[in-house]
Amino acid sequence: MTILETRNLTYKYGIGTPFEKTAVEDVSIEIERGEFLGVIGHTGSGKSTLIQMLNGLIRPTSGQVLLEGKDIWAEPKKIRDVRFKVGMVFQYPEYQLFEETVLKDIMFGPKNMGLSDAQAQARAEEAAAFTGLKAELLEKSPFELSGGEKRRAAIAGVIAMDPEVLVLDEPTAGLDPRGRDVLLTQITQYHKKRGNTVLLVSHSMEDIGRTADRLLVMNSSRCAYLSPTQEVFAQSGKLEGMGLRVPQITKIVQALERLGCPVDPSTLTVDHALKQLIPYFKQLNPGKEA
Amino acid sequence: MAFIEIKDVRFSYAMEAGAEKEVLHGINLDIGQGAFVALLGHNGCGKSTMAKLLNGMLSPSSGQVLIDGLDAGLEENQLPVRRQVGLVLQNPDNQLVAGIVEEDVAFGPENLGVPPEEIRRRVDEALKAVDMYHYREHAPHKLSGGQKQRVAIAGVIAMETKCIVLDEPTAMLDPRGRQEVMETITRLNREKGITIVLITHYMDEAVQAGRVVVMDKGQVLMDGTPQHVFKQVERLKRHDLDVPQATELCYRLRAAGVALPDIPLSVEECVGMFRNLLR
């Protein structure tokens, strides 16, 4: 079932000035309820503008955004409700923390939605647990936290609003490999438990390959693909032409396939590659085991 | 004497109520002129503090950082040290100052009091070196992330620095932008002999360096060629670090009993090895 749909969605910056630029052009897509959608595209491809239109932060120049079948701009006064339903975690969200304590910061969103203090606190504690933020940190000032902890607190602030759709813009940028790993695992677990829709915008094809069921590829303001992740990453040549690439492991496996090795060219993880390659190499060279 | 000498460097940040938190616990490193060193380690291990010590933005609590023999921790050496060591940071939008690309690149040499004709020559040369000469009259804010970072690097080169320290320069860039920046710094290192210290979380970038230094909890944990460091897969993982996917694949194939001649570090090496194996 479709939760979010765009119809001929177009956005132009600086209309009527010499700097007029079409950032998003004629994008018609359907996002399924409960899916984990990866969003990729080079800098300036229009993906940030597109996701900002999905929760009504900016109003399309033409075309429509439908949330659960309803045009989000049908009643502009109710656009706030849309922002509660489509929660957005921006890049480097840790710079947006402002409250006295981490708990108050996470409660800010739910309280804005009109929840009581008790309800907001329950939501905040649950959201903090989802992002792996330790309970003893909740009474601290956000500014005492490490970079990774701040990022978790900021993400918890959006999760606490229990959005139908959670949009994360580059949530792992600047985190070390371990931090990246843990955060991605938490996001996929959150997605599994809550069953709501997650949009993950990322420049890391390895992160996308590990998590997304389907991929939305933006290129030169238009939607180039909206297909299962494996189908998109099977097009490595076309992706490279768009300034993107496939995960390292996919590239290796595709080269192996060309060398005559019977592997699935849409392999996205090292684990999946190993499952296929260990038996293959063993039967190839049974006498030469190390 | 090495170009950069880090001797028993300790560094503490001041905390509330006069308390101090030591983040570097006695670092010793020599970096030769023309080296390309990647500095790895998880968030909070002291990498960025090291970057700021290298160009005198911070002074060590004890020990010394010597740049070409000059003590970078002394106030009177600040200007000469910053002429030698340029810093490029993560966010390209925070380090461009002018409205036109070539003016931005000229900003550094202008501040050094370089004569106008000489500035013109340096700006042109620097922009050519990062392959951004065609964009010299463009507005920086309209460039892509990779292009902005290359302009920031040109700004450092125009000061004729001998060393560039880059603190996660590709963290905010798309795949093409990352590749552009990596190609630019490897070329500057190879062709102009500029010493590069690259701080990164991307293992596929670190393998392109000549030397990899891994930091952990304010100390040097490993130091050697990429081959030497990345073959210690278990040890890296124990310290919450990663290896490139090509390395992980071959390491685990070997562990499962598949005879492989080598543990490659890049996709190209890996594919080359399999090509020989399957021939």
pLDDT digits (tens, 9 = 90+) for A130-176: 998 999 999 999 988 888 889 999 999 999 999 999 999 999 988 88
- What's the confidence (pLDDT) of residue A287? 54
pLDDT digits (tens, 9 = 90+) for A183-225: 999 999 999 999 999 999 999 998 999 999 999 999 999 999 9
pLDDT digits (tens, 9 = 90+) for B94-144: 888 889 999 999 998 998 889 999 999 999 999 998 989 999 999 998 888
Q: What is the DSSP letter of A215?
A: E
A172 vs B contacts (CB less than 8 Å): none
| DSSP one-letter string for B176-194 | HHHHHHHHHHHHHHHHH--
The CA distance from A64 to the nearest CA of chain B, in Å, is 28
Please state, for a pLDDT cut of 90, what percent of chain A lies above it: 77
Distances (CA, A) of B239 to A178, B37, B41: 9, 20, 9
Q: Which tokens sit at A124?
A: 């905040």
- What's the confidence (pLDDT) of residue A286? 61
B201 vs A contacts (CB less than 8 Å): 174-177, 180
Nearest CB neighbour to A290, from listed B43, B44, B259: B259
B249 vs A contacts (CB less than 8 Å): 249, 252, 270, 273-274, 277
Of the CA atoms within 13 Å of residue B182, those in its CB half-sphere come to: 20
Q: Which tokens sit at A269?
A: 């993880």
Contacts of B82 (CB under 8 A, 6+ apart): B55, B56
Q: What mean pLDDT is predicted for residues B80-90?
A: 90
- Average per-residue pLDDT for chain A: 92
pLDDT digits (tens, 9 = 90+) for A89-101: 988 888 888 889 9
- What's the confidence (pLDDT) of residue A272? 94
Q: pLDDT class for A50, splitting at 50, 70, 90? A: very high
ipTM of the complex: 0.81
